[in-house]
Amino acid sequence: MDEEEILERNQFEELIQGLIEHKYGCSDEFISPNTVKGLRKEIQRLSESGKLKLAGVGNAFDIKQSKEIRGDKINWIQENSTNPFEVIYLKKVGKFIEHLNKTCFTSIKSFESHYSNYEKRSFYTRHLDQFKSEKGRKFSIIVYLNTEWNENDGGMLSLYPDKGVPQNISPIGGRIVFFRSDEMEHEVHPSFTKERKSIAAWFKN
């Protein structure tokens, strides 16, 4: 194994250990600053060309309703993307899944990812990522694409581990958060100062 692979392995282990010990894993620089920059540029381009859509809504009534639950705009990342930064992202997540399957017998077969952009003051109320219609979602990850972020920007992710102490996580660029989709309730608080950008993904079996 070369140095890069050892670093990567340690990161994967950090995430898995976190999950085992306190029901969530968190690791910084999962994605390198240069790749974060490339991915941020892409979500910016999608945003400016009107390609980000309110998540999971059909008609006008639903839009109003669902904005009180969830205000982010999304765009799915294609599995066969040729955007070099998306390719790097997809490869790294693929390797993490390979490691997870090998060491934890998780039998994850695929994953789906979307960009998420929260405009100022939009939020996502407390929820689980596994819906009745989405039983296939086993694990959730979120990778953040923001430059500079501090407490008074808001936009924290709150995790509510069962019987554990709630945790607040800042959406710092390159950071990844990892938890079980059917078990970890979580919430995105409104950001006050700027848009909040991320990629959310789900591992499925």
Residues at the contact surface with Mn ion, assessed by CB under 5 A? 129
Which ranges of 23-156 does DSSP label H, i.e. alpha helix? 33-48, 60-67, 84-104
Q: Is 116 an interacting residue with respect to ligand OGA (CB under 6 A)?
A: yes
What is the nearest approach in angstroms of Mn ion to the Cβ of residue 148?
24
Two tokens at 40?
Answer: 């941020």
* Whether the Cβ atoms of residue 25 and residue 168 lie closer than 8 Å to each other: no
Determine the residue with CB nearest Mn ion.
129
From the list Mn ion, ligand OGA, none, pick the one residue 86 interacts with, judged by a Cβ distance below 5 to 8 Å according to partner type: none
From the list ligand OGA, Mn ion, none, pick the one residue 116 interacts with, judged by a Cβ distance below 5 to 8 Å according to partner type: ligand OGA
* Of residues 12 and 202, the one with the C-beta less far from ligand OGA: 202
Q: What whole-number distance in Å separates Cα of residue 79 and Cα of residue 110? A: 10
Pairing of β 73-76 and β 167-169: unpaired
Cα separations in angstroms, 173 against 11, 31, 72, 135, 161: 16, 8, 18, 30, 23
* Of residues 45 and 53, the one with the C-beta less far from Mn ion: 53
Interface with ligand OGA (CB under 6 A), residue total 10
Q: Which of residues 150-189 bind ligand OGA (CB under 6 A)?
A: 157, 171, 186, 188
